[in-house]
Structure 1
Amino acid sequence: MNNPILEQIDLPIFDQIKAEHIYPAITAIINENKTKIKEIENYDISKIDYKFVDELSLLDYKLSNAWSQIGHLNSVMNSDLYRGEYNKCRELITDYYSNLSQNTKIFNLYKELKKSTIFESLDAIQQKIITDEIKDFKLGGVGLDEDKKTVFKELQSKLAKLASKFEENVLDETNNYTLNITDDILLEGIPEDILESAKSLAKENDQKGYTFTLHFPCYVPVLQYAKNRNLRKEMYEAYAKKASEFSDKKFDNTTIIKDILSHRASIAKLLGFNNYAELSIDRKMASGPDEVCSFLRDLSNKAKPYGLKDFEELKEAAKKDGVEDLEAWDVAFYSETIKQDKYNINDQEIKQFFPENKVIEGLFNVIKNLYDIDIVESKAPIWHKDVKYFELLQNNKIIGSFYLDLYARKNKRGGAWMDECISKSKFNVNIDYPVAYLTCNFSSPIGNNPALFTHDEVITLFHECGHGLHHLLTEISEFNVSGIKGVEWDAVELPSQFMENFCWDWNVIKNMTQHIHTKESMPKELFNKLIASKNFQSGMQSLRQIEFALFDILIHMESNPDNLDVISTLESVRDEVAVVRPPHWNRFPHSFSHIFAGGYAAGYYSYKWAEVLSADVFEEFENNGVLSKDVGSRFRREILSVGGSRPAKESFIKFKGREPSIDALLRHNGLAA
């Protein structure tokens, strides 16, 4: 059987990959890798040199490239058949890396190389790779006795399965829910384009009227604009109870959360840590969980007065409307009401100025101005007709490329993300540049009109593109530290949050807007209103992110989570930092995929941590011209191009000339005294 995963010459052959190709491809690569590892194990330790590090990196490169395309398709074109094959292979890969990280013979090669005189002759990047690998082996359980190694591997295997199941439950519950409405009176206030989409979906489902879902492009506008309070509550309740004991039992994540926390704590204890938070932070910029808690609480104390003021304003607006008890499903609606009254601006008005083609053009112009890079659309095999493929050109040479998958659809994971397709590496043969996936979940075009983006969606696109540039503009060819690999998790959001700042600059906005009907750019007067509204409810928004981050770190600081009541912990965090209190049946943790199915366990604080870094970095652009080529070149040289080849703090200081300061973040968020 021909297998497009194994036959890949340059770019993945996405239009040919099927579920039946997955297992044979992964087993073939793993078996080949195992044979080579056996050979490396027998190297003469007295004659060891850097060659074996390269050989092991090449094995990782091959497996990562194959698994990247498989994992991506599982996220964007999910099906029962594909999911089954993916999960089967995920077990194989978890087992493969568990065995490798506990391979004493390979570990000894690294240790011997570090002790040898050869180590001193290696460059700083190679030395960092060896040091990082030794630490990773230790965190992988190489020092455990055989019985504990077995337990460790079993726990890792269970965690991999639980993470997959958690994400599947969230996706299935989201896809499973629809609300059909035939009475137009109930829909008062909802924007016309949202109603058009809902009507189109109803028609697809052979229903009358309008069909609403829990997908973000549908759910959020209903909460923001629907005047019918009962409709808002019904949608909010379905969303808040997603994948919990209050919903379909087969999608309930309650037990999965308990098991994940228990297994993580067990792994941490096996490795000599008091709790999983200590283990997680061991490879991050922060010194430990206590510093993270202090950072979050300090930020909370600064934001709380502003958050309380924001909430009082909400309650006043609700009272004017006859609502005495403001509930969670009222917050977005009255926030939008206040924003319109206060700034004479609303998201739907702004949206008319952000057609997809103009936004993409504006984004590419920012990149051109900062880094002297051209981005052009090109051809490549794709997985869905809506996907586009672009190449980055410098001096007419391709230096990177990416796939852009913008629209929400059924069987596509929610949210927005960047992921690596191919990493820059000395192992690249037919394609000598990195390739990325940029994935969002925006509203698709309606009829002959282009897709229109809210300003928040424009910010999201710039954010993910920032991650993409971190991957694509690396100049490091050592696979282990190329692009975002090897970058401390609490610094990895720096380039993405940095890019968000350009969405608030007039010189950028005026050239990336065009009204859907009049074809005119956004008027300066409207932009000024947008700027005035920038820090609208920033106190509440900051506290919400701090709530998530503090909840995450605290549940992972528990040394015995078997006795932990996750919801009680969340409530106590809300007692401390929140100003908006969701109802007791809100089950936010049950769809908190970042920490239960993604890489942010005991690391969600990274968003706020990196926000400090990115605001401080952007201050340099504010002081020298927002689109300064000189500062852009320095940012590329000291932050983007070096990847994980040196500590993030060192890269920051190289760019800024000093240690990070929180002042710029507080000023940007309107929280400065």
Structure 2
Amino acid sequence: MAKVGGAIGKDYRSVGVAWGVINHLKSVKDTPELRAAIEEVQPEKVKFQLRLGQSKPIYNAFKAIQDSPQWQSLSNAQKRIVESQIKEAVLNGVALEDDKRKEFNKIQQELERLSQKFGENVLDATKKFEKFITDEKEIEGLPATALALAAQTAVSKGHKEATAENGPWIITLDAPSFISVMQHAQNRDLREEFYRAYVTRASSGDLDNTPIIDQILKLRQEKAKLLNYINYAEVSMATKMATVQKAEELLEKLRTASWDAAVQGRTAAYFSLPKVMDGLFNLANTLFGIDIEPADGLAPVWNNDVRFYRVKDCSGSPIAYFYFDPYSRPSEKRGGAWMDEVVSRSLVLSCNGTAPRLPIAHMVCNQTPPVGGKPSLMTFREVETVFHEFGHALQHMLTKQDEGLVAGIRGIEWDAVELPSQFMENWCYHRETLMGIAKHYVTGETLPEDVYLKLLAARTFRAGSLSLRQLKFASLDLELHTRYIPGGSETIFDVDQRVSKRTQVIPPLPEDRFLCSFSHIFAGGYAAGYYSYKWAEVLSADAFSAFEDAGLDDSKAVKEIGRKFRETILALGGGKAPSEVFVEFRGREPSPEALLRHNGLSSVTASAYLILFICILSVYIDSK
């Protein structure tokens, strides 16, 4: 086992780590030179990955391990690695005959190229649109932070005289700018202009992603046929907890959970980034017994705003490191927020072979940067996003698996990987945690009680609107990867409109081209897997309810349960089936009750979640 794992690690280490750095820089510091370099070497990288994934000697070695008398003596983590590698090899085409393997490899090369181009088009289309404004009446209602950002953008574009008070202002489709307009601008025409620009990104001219989407879907379908699957969704589900049928059951039952969108109060002045990060690190110390300290200068960074941190255990020894890149940079950085690994924990790949290599993570957000001498003032949604991504980072960094292929987030079924991230979001509503970070950046005043109560009250509305949004995305994703026929009588936008009629209270505009910027499924890892967010929501809410049941005011109990969460959900990684890991933490199978309580769902929706629970329970039973 060690010899095979070592062979894979040593073959893949130089390419995997180097390409991970390149891919990361592509996301946070995109340049024409980097694009050209990637385009030149990417075919060789894909060729190497395919050779490794289709290696008969490695595949046969894993099969021999599985069939050997020593199989029962392996640990659960080692068994999971073997089973996963065999399954991945089959999905990578190891069993295909020569002609079909060549066709499979050609498809994979083209899919990599198309996904790369899709993401580039979205970034270029986003930064291409900007509106120059000199009349302050056009931007009435925008908060001071948004005006300062718009003036700062104008200065960066050559308008040196621009100020937040007098302009001129430049507003873009970058998230902090766009969201501010949509939430606060009194000018209805301005909101409509920006909305139309946003939902039609990358849908025309040289940046049109429409033909790319059709080609991606066509190639994914061909790939599925070569592997003897009905459609690409079946391929995707082969490495997940759910099945297509169970995922579609979930989405259909949740379709009735539609209600008005949330209304968020103007709380940005109370959430400065330094205070939020201090509170987040204090929470991590309380729950998981770790200390996080700045380690700036210890590692090179790609932008002066990027921070580097060291994570220590209770003995003071380093156990992990992570980068944090918080601010939006529309000229070079793609939108959204994510966590990814730099390197994973691994004993085989350690320097001395005795102590495991420590994990390092990237944590990337796109929030409002500091403007006018003020710190970055965050919306409450941006606070939730930071907590969310930190949850992913914790699972990567606090793993205790020494087998690199199942350490941290590796080897975890995709529809369970959101558990720690969504779990951490719950703490944003915990009074002690929230009041600890919600301090006015000038006066130091704590968030007023009435505003805190409004945030709590708004949670059900926010959950509803987000649920509705996620439901559409997930349903559309599965529809495109199960029933849609590229080049048929129905276009991808017809499918979008059809799905939206079932999942949206207000249907999209006829000219809506949201799919052309749906990077999650066309340039990311969520193809036929977007439903995972909803799947993991039940697990994460139930995990948090363990703290509620013990009493959130009982510091001793909170610490005890936090340590248990660390030793199970965060420590075991992909070394154990997620259904088993959850039971080890919670002492029972998952229940939807906590999610129903958190979201204030109706009895009708409760029935829907009860069916979801039955689906999850059946997966657990099937896995035993």
State whether residues 274 and 559 of structure 1, in contact with CA within 8 Å, keep that contact through their aligned partners in structure 2: no
- After superposition, give the CA deviation of every residue in 1:148-204 in whole Å (9 maximum; x if it has no partner): 000000000000000000000000111111110111111111111111111121122
Q: Does 1:420 align with 2:341?
A: yes
What amino acid maps onto 1:556 in structure 2?
H
State whether residues 257 and 596 of structure 1, in contact with CA within 8 Å, keep that contact through their aligned partners in structure 2: yes
Which is worse superposed, 414-423 or 89-98? 89-98
Partner of 2:572: 642
Partner of 2:617: none
Within the candidate set 590, 595, 614, 1:660 is matched to 590
* Whole-angstrom CA distance in 2 between matches of 1:543 and 1:474: 33
Partner of 1:44: none
* Mapping for residues 389-468 of structure 1, pairs under 5 Å: 389-394=308-313, 395-409=315-329, 410-426=331-347, 427-429=349-351, 432-468=357-393
What amino acid maps onto 2:370 in structure 1?
P
* Whole-angstrom CA distance in 2 between matches of 1:200 and 1:108: 59
- After superposition, give the CA deviation of every residue in 1:365-388 in whole Å (9 maximum; x if it has no partner): 110000111110012211110001
Partner of 1:156: 108
Within the candidate set 387, 391, 412, 2:306 is matched to 387
* Whole-angstrom CA distance in 2 between matches of 1:237 and 1:548: 19
Displacement after TM superposition at 1:516 (Å): 1.6
Identity of aligned residues (%): 41
* Whole-angstrom CA distance in 1 between matches of 2:238 and 2:518: 23
SS at match of 2:459: coil
* Mapping for residues 126-525 of structure 1, pairs under 5 Å: 126-207=78-159, 209-245=168-204, 249-286=205-242, 288-301=243-256, 303-304=257-258, 307=259, 310=260, 336=263, 346-347=265-266, 350-379=267-296, 380-394=299-313, 395-409=315-329, 410-426=331-347, 427-429=349-351, 432-525=357-450
- After superposition, give the CA deviation of every residue in 1:390-414 in whole Å (9 maximum; x if it has no partner): 1111111001110110000121010
Displacement after TM superposition at 1:473 (Å): 0.3
SS at match of 1:421: strand
* Whole-angstrom CA distance in 2 between matches of 1:420 and 1:659: 30
Partner of 2:453: 528
Displacement after TM superposition at 1:69 (Å): 1.3
SS at match of 1:534: helix
* Whole-angstrom CA distance in 2 between matches of 1:622 and 1:672: 21
Partner of 1:329: none
Partner of 1:34: none
Partner of 1:87: 39
Displacement after TM superposition at 1:50 (Å): 4.2
Q: Does 1:96 align with 2:48?
A: yes
Displacement after TM superposition at 1:557 (Å): 0.5
State whether residues 107 and 134 of structure 1, in contact with CA within 8 Å, keep that contact through their aligned partners in structure 2: yes
SS at match of 1:352: helix
SS at match of 2:247: helix
- After superposition, give the CA deviation of every residue in 1:416-461 in whole Å (9 maximum; x if it has no partner): 0000011100112278311100000011111221111111100000
- After superposition, give the CA deviation of every residue in 1:549-568 in whole Å (9 maximum; x if it has no partner): 00001110127434252111
* Whole-angstrom CA distance in 2 between matches of 1:672 and 1:653: 27
* Whole-angstrom CA distance in 2 between matches of 1:53 and 1:518: 56
4+ residue runs over 4 A deviation: none
Q: Give the number of equivalent residue pairs.
A: 583
* Mapping for residues 579-590 of structure 1, pairs under 5 Å: 579-590=505-516
Partner of 1:625: 551
What amino acid maps onto 1:285 in structure 2?
M
Structure 2: which 5+ runs fail to align? 163-167, 604-624
What amino acid maps onto 1:252 in structure 2?
D
SS at match of 1:180: strand
* Whole-angstrom CA distance in 1 between matches of 2:3 and 2:567: 28
Within the candidate set 534, 539, 543, 1:613 is matched to 539
Partner of 2:601: 671
* Whole-angstrom CA distance in 1 between matches of 2:465 and 2:438: 29
State whether residues 61 and 479 of structure 1, in contact with CA within 8 Å, keep that contact through their aligned partners in structure 2: no
Partner of 1:601: 527
CA shift in 2, pair 1:455/1:540, >3 Å: closer
SS at match of 2:436: coil
Displacement after TM superposition at 1:631 (Å): 0.8
SS at match of 2:437: coil
CA shift in 2, pair 1:199/1:559, >3 Å: closer
* Whole-angstrom CA distance in 1 between matches of 2:54 and 2:359: 30
What amino acid maps onto 2:225 in structure 1?
K
What amino acid maps onto 2:190 in structure 1?
L
Which is worse superposed, 196-205 or 360-369? 196-205
* Whole-angstrom CA distance in 2 between matches of 1:670 and 1:144: 51
TM, length-normalised to structure 2? 0.91
What amino acid maps onto 1:579 in structure 2?
V
* Whole-angstrom CA distance in 1 between matches of 2:79 and 2:441: 54
SS at match of 1:441: strand
What amino acid maps onto 1:194 in structure 2?
A
Which is worse superposed, 517-526 or 495-504? 517-526
- After superposition, give the CA deviation of every residue in 1:610-662 in whole Å (9 maximum; x if it has no partner): 11110111111111133601111111111110000011111111112222222
Which is worse superposed, 622-631 or 507-516? 622-631
CA shift in 2, pair 1:578/1:608, >3 Å: same
Structure 1: which 5+ runs fail to align? 1-48, 312-334, 340-345
TM, length-normalised to structure 1? 0.84
State whether residues 416 and 441 of structure 1, in contact with CA within 8 Å, keep that contact through their aligned partners in structure 2: yes
CA RMSD of aligned residues (A): 1.5
Which is worse superposed, 254-263 or 566-575? 566-575
State whether residues 555 and 561 of structure 1, in contact with CA within 8 Å, keep that contact through their aligned partners in structure 2: no
CA shift in 2, pair 1:283/1:411, >3 Å: same
* Whole-angstrom CA distance in 1 between matches of 2:364 and 2:213: 26
Displacement after TM superposition at 1:537 (Å): 5.1
Within the candidate set 541, 558, 575, 2:483 is matched to 558
Partner of 1:45: none
Q: Does 1:107 align with 2:62?
A: no
State whether residues 410 and 573 of structure 2, in contact with CA within 8 Å, keep that contact through their aligned partners in structure 1: yes
What amino acid maps onto 2:235 in structure 1?
L
